[in-house]
Amino acid sequence: MGIALARRPVQPVTLVRPHAAARAARFFVEKFPGRSMYAVKANPSPDLLKVLWESGITHYDVASIGEVRLVAETLPDATLCFMHPVKAPEAIAEAYHTHGVRVFSLDSLEELTKIMDATDDATDLTLCVRLRVSSEHSKLSLASKFGAAPGETKELLFAARQAADALGICFHVGSQAMTPEAYANAIERVRAAIVEAGVTVDVVDVGGGFPSSYPGMEPPPLERYFATIHRAFESLPISYSAELWAEPGRALCAEYSSLIVRVERRRGDELYINDGAYGALFDAAHLGWQFPVRLLREPDSNARDMDFSFYGPTCDDMDHMAGPFPLPADTRAGDYIEIGMLGAYGAAMRTGFNGFTNGETVIVDDEPMVSLYAAPARRVASGNVVTL
């Protein structure tokens, strides 16, 4: 609150909480029963990458040659895993020969051929065959674009086994999986694929999808996800030395940042704010995502909450966030609002459309508005913003 009231910024202000990202990383490192690698696409901030590294995350899921270069430059000792199933041959070659990438995913025989050609038939590859699995338990489906279908997996697994030093199977249950059963069901698909192909599997990668907490989307404790995954993994027909991997993105960075915006106009239950669909609020506009909000005013408003929708600053009708966003009924132009849980995909999706850009970024040490990792008494933060 101090930042908004003292500085009265004209542009949006991003608040980053390194301690929150560090806490999430330590939680996964200590409690997930395998290896956790950060999905860089969720938030590619170099500062965040360093926080995660210092907190024990040593492996990074990269999805483009740009992400490969970024992580290689930022964290020279990190292990990079190129987990996009469709890659340019030039990207594969640079990743392998220049940046030391040895882990690649694929979901077709064509991609396998491409990988082998681009790496000059390398013999030190870990090849992870991506299976298509259901996204029925997730808020955002990832079931249509990638993944080998049941009739394609036997031949592909057998061919990859012949080419790979280590063979993996991976999948993605979709973003924001709201029940651990999503992973149990997907691992049953892994079981069927292994039995059908009759191959030795060295890695099972359960992908991402680990949820964070948003209004109307309060997931079970993450420990339940880990326990379900561990039981299912232990029951697979694989060797004792096989490794379990995961690719958390949102779960590691959602609590990392929030955004302070200013109300430029009020029209009934619509608030015109200075950030939106082409800024940090892409998910709110295009996916109907609801984020926690609070009015930053001193003294606090005594008005009851009412539901608002937001318009962003651009000249585009699509720059609209339906919400609902509950705020005091006397919210008005000139007020400041904090929008929480924007560490995942907020900064990553930001554009400069129409000339509207982000303003200052400030490190703060208060708690996120919601946390899956803080002690129960502190799961909802107090509302004060403290600068360092």
CATH number where 148 lies:
3.20.20.10
Please determine, for residue 30, whether its predicted confidence score (pLDDT) is greater than 70.
yes
Give the domain extent around 78.
Answer: 33-247
Confidence of residue 383 (pLDDT cuts 50, 70, 90): very low
pLDDT (tens digit per residue) in 123-155:
999 999 999 987 776 666 666 678 898 899 999
Give pLDDT, residue 146.
82
Answer yes or no: do 243 and 327 share one domain: no
Average pLDDT estimate for 110-123: 98
Answer yes or no: do 193 and 295 share one domain: no
3-state secondary structure of 343: coil
Answer yes or no: do 235 and 317 share one domain: no
Answer yes or no: are the C-beta atoms of 228 and 184 closer than 8 Å.
yes
Answer yes or no: do 196 and 299 share one domain: no
Average pLDDT estimate for 235-260: 96
Answer yes or no: do 292 and 218 share one domain: no
Give pLDDT, residue 378.
38
Other CB atoms within 10 Å distance of the CB of residue 280: 27
User: Across all residues in the chain, what is the average pLDDT?
Assistant: 92
Could you give the CA distance from residue 48 to residue 252 in angstroms, rounded to a whole number?
A: 10
CA-based nearest residue to 157, from 189, 120, 124, 131 = 131
CA-based nearest residue to 288, from 248, 237, 322 = 322
Domain boundary residue among 247, 272, 298?
247
Answer yes or no: do 199 and 308 share one domain: no
Q: In the structure encoding, which two tokens stand for residue 356, read together?
A: 């509207």
Answer yes or no: do 187 and 214 share one domain: yes
HSE-CB at 89 with a 13 A cutoff on CA atoms is: 8
Which residues in 198-252 belong to E strands, given as ranges? 203-205, 243-246
3-state secondary structure of 230: helix
- What is the total count of domains within the chain? 2
pLDDT (tens digit per residue) in 166-204:
999 999 998 889 899 999 999 999 999 999 999 999 999
Give pLDDT, residue 153.
94
Give pLDDT, residue 150.
87
Residue 252 lies in a domain: no
Answer yes or no: do 236 and 288 share one domain: no
Residue 300 lies in a domain: yes
3-state secondary structure of 52: helix
Give pLDDT, residue 201.
97
Domain boundary residue among 226, 247, 268?
247
Paired sense of beta strands 138-140 and 175-177, if any = antiparallel
Average pLDDT estimate for 230-251: 95
Answer yes or no: do 370 and 237 share one domain: no
Answer yes or no: are the C-beta atoms of 44 and 13 closer than 8 Å.
no
Give pLDDT, residue 385.
39
Give pLDDT, residue 282.
93
Answer yes or no: do 278 and 296 share one domain: yes
Residue 373 lies in a domain: yes
Answer yes or no: do 161 and 204 share one domain: yes
Please determine, for residue 322, whether its predicted confidence score (pLDDT) is greater than 90.
yes
Share of the chain above pLDDT 70, in %: 93
Residue 25 lies in a domain: no
CATH number where 305 lies:
2.40.37.10
HSE-CB at 311 with a 13 A cutoff on CA atoms is: 15
Report the range of poorest mean pLDDT among 291-295, 322-326, 358-362. 358-362
Answer yes or no: are the C-beta atoms of 264 and 308 closer than 8 Å.
no
Q: Looking at the DSSP assignment, which residues form a beta bridge with residue 205?
A: 170, 245
Give pLDDT, residue 143.
62
Give pLDDT, residue 323.
92
Please determine, for residue 92, whether its predicted confidence score (pLDDT) is greater than 50.
yes
Residue 387 lies in a domain: no
Could you give the CA distance from residue 191 to residue 193 in angstroms, rounded to a whole number?
A: 5
| pTM across the whole model | 0.92
How long is the chain? 388
Residue 241 lies in a domain: yes
Report the range of poorest mean pLDDT among 12-16, 90-94, 241-245, 355-359. 355-359
Residue 24 lies in a domain: no
Task: Name the region of 121 (left: φ>0; alpha: ψ -120 to 50; beta: rest).
Answer: left
Please determine, for residue 72, whether its predicted confidence score (pLDDT) is greater than 90.
yes
Answer yes or no: do 221 and 185 share one domain: yes
Residue 21 lies in a domain: no
CA-based nearest residue to 271, from 331, 356, 200 = 331
Domain boundary residue among 197, 222, 247?
247
